[in-house]
Amino acid sequence: MENRPLEYDYTVAKMFMFTTIVLGIVGMLIGVILAFQLAFPSVNTILGEGLAEYTNFSRLRPLHTDAVIFGFTLSGIFATWYYVGQRVLKVSMAESGLLMFLGKLHFWLYLIVVAAVVVTLFMGITTSKEYAEFEWPIDIAVVVVWVLWGMGLFGLIGIRREKSLYISIWYYIATFLGIAMLYLFNNMEIPTYFASGGIGSWWHSVSMYAGTNDALVQWWYGHNAVAFGFTVPIVAMIYYFLPKESGQAIYSYKLSLLSFWGLMFVYLWAGGHHLLYSTVPDWMQTMGSIFSVILILPSWGSAINMLLTMKGEWQQVAASPLIKFMILASTFYMFSTLEGPIQAIKSVNAIAHFTDWIVGHVHDGVLGWVGFMIMASLFHMAPRVFKREIYSKSLMATQFWIQTLGVVLYFTSMWIAGITQGMMWRAHDEFGNLAYSFIDTVTVLHPYYTIRGVGGLLYLVGFLMFAYNIYKTMSARPVEESELQNASPMGA
């Protein structure tokens, strides 16, 4: 055998980078279509009446949420895991044939599940539980994919050279365990065909819980899907990529450990804020509100730790578009974790719930924090996995500004729309008659929906620039090992 020095093996990381980009484009394109459907209803039948079943808002909405959450974000999580995991544990996947096999199997099964999800959702097959729309056969496949990831994850940890687990690894482990628990409990369902002795479709199922209990489990899941899908693994990314790209040690490693346990402790109790003023017990709602407010502390603990990591090095933010992405992500994280607790206060939620303000909150989090951080991670990884410099720095800087403008247009328009909606719905005259009918709000909101559509379109354009930049990177100037220490090499 030829005696080559040991290297990290990024085969699986590359595969997941590919799905991150493709599913990101698909999910965001659908998002933009949805946004324009809300502004211009005729877009619902854009491909004609005959195909209206497949192009209407309600059919496409779960495709958007599932494509961006379980396609784009989850692929990003896997791609970064297969990159960061090896590096901070100082062990290569090439050292274990088994781990390599598990990694590839993980990817291909994941892809099959994605295909099944796309097809079934387009056909209108759904359990109707938000973020948990998949029917039972797919749920079983999802569990298999998850277990494969877990085997790979703990397998790699098992053969590591570095004894301690870097803080990011803790966050990846938490992602794995958290989602595993949530997904299993929320998707407990009874296949009706088999339970009834052959009535209906074989793939159909009903939830094992009913009424308020179902809502409680659903939002315990829904909220923590945000926690363990949009927060915990993204924090894992920033704790690795920001120090690495800037060459700065984390401002306080102790604070990172603290925020980790703080976040784990507080997050699980906050889900009640999705069910304020509903039929769940009052004490549970109050508890949800209180824990939501406390949640600011561990969230800001991580975010401030990241900003302070740049202490004395702020010129890097001006000089490097890659650092800009990460600093803005961290800022948007602070922003949405301040906005969330405000919305969780009962009296505020009375206005905000059911309105576009929530949709605004969702998207300043996912576009500004999740999206930016995943793109930044892939930008940092690209020169290292392809051994080539990033194709264009100026393209990257342009993308940054276009997308930042997109996010700002998105959340500001939704704030105005949401609060207007909330106020109009509850306005009444001295006799208690409602002052407005629903259609009055629709008329008033139209301009803001259009602005949101434009903002979303800008974000999508930026994402396409990102995809192009990564694609061109694969044929850019090759780089030397020594260029890859900290700051990523970039072409003009």
Residues near ligand HEM (CB under 6 A) are 28, 31-32, 34-35, 38, 61, 64-65, 68-69, 72-73, 130, 222, 226, 230-231, 270, 273-274, 292, 295-296, 299, 336-337, 340-341, 343-344, 349, 352-353, 358-359, 361-363, 365-367, 369-371, 456, 459-460
Angle between helices 296-309 and 282-294 (to 10 degrees): 20
CB of 109 to ligand HEM, least distance (A): 22
Q: How far is CA 366 from CA 226, 333, 475, in A?
A: 10, 9, 31
Binding mask 7-46 for another protein (x = CB under 8 A): xx--------------------------------------
Among 3, 42, 128, 163, the residue binding another protein under the rule CB under 8 A is: 163
Considering only residues 243 to 282 of the shown chain, the ones binding another protein according to CB under 8 A are 243-244, 247, 249-250, 252-254, 257-258, 261-262, 265
Neighbouring residues of 224: CB distance < 8 A, sequence distance ≥ 6: 178, 182, 267, 268, 271
From the list 154, 360, 174, 204, the residue with the least C-alpha distance to 268 is: 174
For 124: left if phi > 0, alpha if psi spans -120 to 50, otherwise beta; the answer is left
CB of 312 to ligand HEM, least distance (A): 28
**Alpha-carbon gap, residue 118 to 134, rounded angstroms:** 10
- Cβ 94 vs Cβ 100: under 8 Å: yes
From the list 463, 490, 86, the residue with the least C-alpha distance to 319 is: 490
Residue 32: which of another protein, ligand HEM, none does it interact with, CB under 5 to 8 A by kind? Answer: ligand HEM
Neighbouring residues of 81: CB distance < 8 A, sequence distance ≥ 6: 149, 153, 172, 233
Residue 283: which of another protein, ligand HEM, none does it interact with, CB under 5 to 8 A by kind? Answer: another protein
**Residue 461 exposure: Cα atoms within 13 Å on the Cβ side:** 17
Residue 164: which of ligand HEM, another protein, none does it interact with, CB under 5 to 8 A by kind? Answer: another protein
- Cβ 31 vs Cβ 456: under 8 Å: yes
CB of 5 to another protein, least distance (A): 8
**Alpha-carbon gap, residue 332 to 362, rounded angstroms:** 11
- 60 or 250: whose CB is closer to another protein? 250
Residue 249: which of ligand HEM, another protein, none does it interact with, CB under 5 to 8 A by kind? Answer: another protein
Neighbouring residues of 151: CB distance < 8 A, sequence distance ≥ 6: 102
Residue 252: which of another protein, ligand HEM, none does it interact with, CB under 5 to 8 A by kind? Answer: another protein
Considering only residues 58 to 117 of the shown chain, the ones binding another protein according to CB under 8 A are 87-88, 90-92
Which tokens hold the place of 72? 């784009």
- 250 or 329: whose CB is closer to another protein? 250
Q: Which residues are near another protein by CB under 8 A?
A: 5-8, 87-88, 90-92, 160-164, 166-168, 239-240, 243-244, 247, 249-250, 252-254, 257-258, 261-262, 265, 283
